[in-house]
Amino acid sequence: MRTLTTGRLLLWGLALNAAWEWLQCTFLYDMSGSAVWKGAVWMSAATVADGFIVLAVAGIATLLSGKRRLDAPDAKGWAALLGVVVLPPKFDPVSS
């Protein structure tokens, strides 16, 4: 089992948030009146801020539940995670 270090957590947080920021920018914001570099600076700043938010949330989670909770799950953990993600749209006890 791999331990999630702070550096790896920051890199994953920056990578995922950068993809999100750059993808949503084209659909949600109209930057046609500004220079390309200005938009790039805004998206980069948002990505870095999101990276620090990821570190803060992970730090709070570590304080509340222990460092072991940030380790990558084993096969049973991944199966449970996928079950939680995939099952709810197919099984909704409230609307049944």
Cβ contact 17:51 at 8 Å: yes
Residue 96 lies in a domain: no
What is the extent of the structural domain holding 40?
Answer: 6-89
Q: Which residues of 20-54 are buried (b: 16+ CB within 10 A; e: fewer)?
A: ebeeeeeeeeeeeeeeeeebeeebeebbeebbeeb
Chain mean pLDDT for the chain? 77
Mean pLDDT of 15-42: 80
pLDDT at 49: 92
pLDDT at 93: 57
Residue 17 lies in a domain: yes
Interval 26-36: pLDDT, tens: 777 777 777 87
* Entry pTM: 0.62
Total number of domains in the chain? 1
Residue 94 lies in a domain: no
